[in-house]
Structure 1
């Protein structure tokens, strides 16, 4: 993990402050940016999201799927957590905390939107930072690559139906045309583009050339993420200044969800007899979120000013420190895990 990535939470915090201040000083600029839309898709943000996602997807080698049988127990556990547990547990936590316990403390008009943002955050497993978490936990690299590639393929067909189902249960009108467009724009097309670029680079310069390209593009993803945050908080600034406790309240269900899913995945791997080098990244993949996609989908579906967009940004804010704590637990518990496996 680079110094830039290690202190991502610090940069996120600085971008929050910068966005709020710029939103107060230059509201007209942000209004112009917010109005640059085609079919409910904000063009400046779409460009930034692509700059975030495509470099990350360049790392994915779908040929790794042929090795899926080598760690079938870990694969099965992670798929179960990612697609059968995490979106639904987050929806339940959102309804409990945001829809009930914290309702008197939050803007009434944004309650459903906050819950929608939490659902979007949990509906897609992380595809990029998990390589960092897996490396820090001494995870089996082939398992991590196989799992990420498989999740990407599933996400193409499962993200929209799961989000639509859970938003429907939340009594939120699902704009299916925009949701499908978001899946095409932020999942299907970037996957295709990234794979075409990956093959072209490998064909001309091999793995060394791909490594150089990934190294050069890595900062681009993070800078694009931070620029998106400046825009988001430029629009959300007045609401946050009026009620700064909103971020802390939204963080509660996210934190519970992360630790619950990580612990559940870790436990299931131990019960199944899977190796620790697989259980670690399995727990981390099961707990982390594809927050870049969540932010993009929230903006497309509900807009810059929505509570959904703010809820997904809270996920970005706490992602790094929370996942580092999960890495710490996984590493410290290795002896216990191997004694009781």
Structure 2
């Protein structure tokens, strides 16, 4: 095939991908940007709204945000085929790179970028390092599902991140904020956070929706069968993941609307290393997945689980340790401000990159397609929707 023909095929393939997305997914970037704008507007227009939203908290996170996260995660976890998880846990080509990317390279890359871009702003620098330590256990499920990643693999990797987070977060915080800067002759603030604080956050934001999703599938399939469950029930509850996501974004940005809009230059300086971080981690992980022989769904899952961060934990730790009005907390809030639009953009990049993976085809396939039959059957629109 000529270079011109290849280019045309690539364009046509990208159009086919976009055309097969459900309406809500196709315009998701618009909904997210609108939610961000609405949150910022509310935070500025309604005096005391942020204080009112922050009065009741769950593990240091505003109760409305906590509810939004639970609603967001439940439908996606209800889609997981739990009887297929064993096939994922045996895949060392997926698990070992994921552990390396999340718990060795990810924190190290964020540490380096924070010092490179913010050498004169220690509060923001500390906040970014905390964001890098908090590996994603929530929104990554949304991005993975939209990009037609492997849903079962995402569930396993998120569970692994959760377990490692409980035991590794405090130790890594001590290393990157106290030990390593001392070795390098740099000054940095210490981070004091208990293992129980992290475990409690993981149990709430992952454990509750995971248990609810598992129970829904188990009881639904037992009562009406798998065909009814996936053809009837899932399309009904699926859109609530997007509603929960948008609600969470509105509340999150309403909480910090004044801080974000009153310090635009600071936000820009915090945003630059975050942009570099997301690009490096996602592109590097996607390339690594392709290099070790992963198919498109698993490589996509590897990339999004490595690039995403647990901003709710990072914000909670920053607020609990340094205060709600601290620079560390602001850096944590800027994290999702940059992460949300960047990663939704990478969803479209991922879908367009399918043609570089053997046997991927031109259009999106279900993220739970790990067997040949599922891979050969094109999904309907609801199977792509969150």
TM-score bracket for the superposition, by shorter chain length: 0.7 to 0.9
Distance 1:30 1:172, change over 3 A: same
* Pairing partner for 2:316 from 285, 300, 304: 300
Deviations 1:232-277 (A, max 9, x none): 22222222222224444334333333333344334444554x2654
Alpha-carbon contact 2:43-2:50 (below 8 Å) kept: yes
Q: What is the aligned residue count?
A: 317
Please say if 1:166 is aligned against 2:186.
no
Please say if 1:179 is aligned against 2:202.
no
Match for residue 315 of structure 1?
A: 339
Match for residue 141 of structure 1?
A: none
> Shift of the alpha carbon at 1:13?
1.8
Please say if 1:90 is aligned against 2:124.
no
- Give me the whole-angstrom Cα distance separating, in 2, the residues matched to 1:270 and 1:37: 42
- Give me the whole-angstrom Cα distance separating, in 2, the residues matched to 1:79 and 1:39: 26
* Pairing partner for 1:44 from 53, 60, 64: 64
Calculate the TM-score normalised by the size of structure 2.
0.70
Calculate the TM-score normalised by the size of structure 1.
0.79
Which runs of structure 2 are paired with 1:181-200 in the superposition (5 Å)? 181-200=200-219
Deviations 1:160-199 (A, max 9, x none): 2333233222232224432221011112232222211221
Deviations 1:4-48 (A, max 9, x none): 223222222222222222122212333222112366353222211
Q: What secondary structure does 1:216 align onto?
A: helix
- Give me the whole-angstrom Cα distance separating, in 1, the residues matched to 2:66 and 2:206: 12
> Shift of the alpha carbon at 1:278?
6.0
Unpaired segments of 5 or more residues in structure 2? 1-20, 178-189, 359-386
- Give me the whole-angstrom Cα distance separating, in 2, the residues matched to 1:213 and 1:246: 46
Which runs of structure 2 are paired with 1:1-341 in the superposition (5 Å)? 1-37=21-57, 40-68=60-88, 72-98=92-118, 100=119, 103=120, 109-120=123-134, 126-134=140-148, 144-168=150-174, 169-170=176-177, 171-211=190-230, 212-272=232-292, 274=293, 276-277=295-296, 280-281=299-300, 284-285=303-304, 287-289=306-308, 294-303=310-319, 306-307=329-330, 308-328=332-352, 330-331=353-354, 333-334=356-357
- Give me the whole-angstrom Cα distance separating, in 2, the residues matched to 1:317 and 1:183: 24
Q: What secondary structure does 1:173 align onto?
A: coil
Of Structure 1 and Structure 2, the greater helix share is in 1
> Shift of the alpha carbon at 1:280?
4.1
Alpha-carbon contact 1:125-1:151 (below 8 Å) kept: no
> Shift of the alpha carbon at 1:323?
3.4
- Give me the whole-angstrom Cα distance separating, in 2, the residues matched to 1:160 and 1:313: 25
Unpaired segments of 5 or more residues in structure 1? 136-143, 336-341
Alpha-carbon contact 1:266-1:283 (below 8 Å) kept: yes
Distance 1:287 1:80, change over 3 A: same
Alpha-carbon contact 2:289-2:298 (below 8 Å) kept: yes
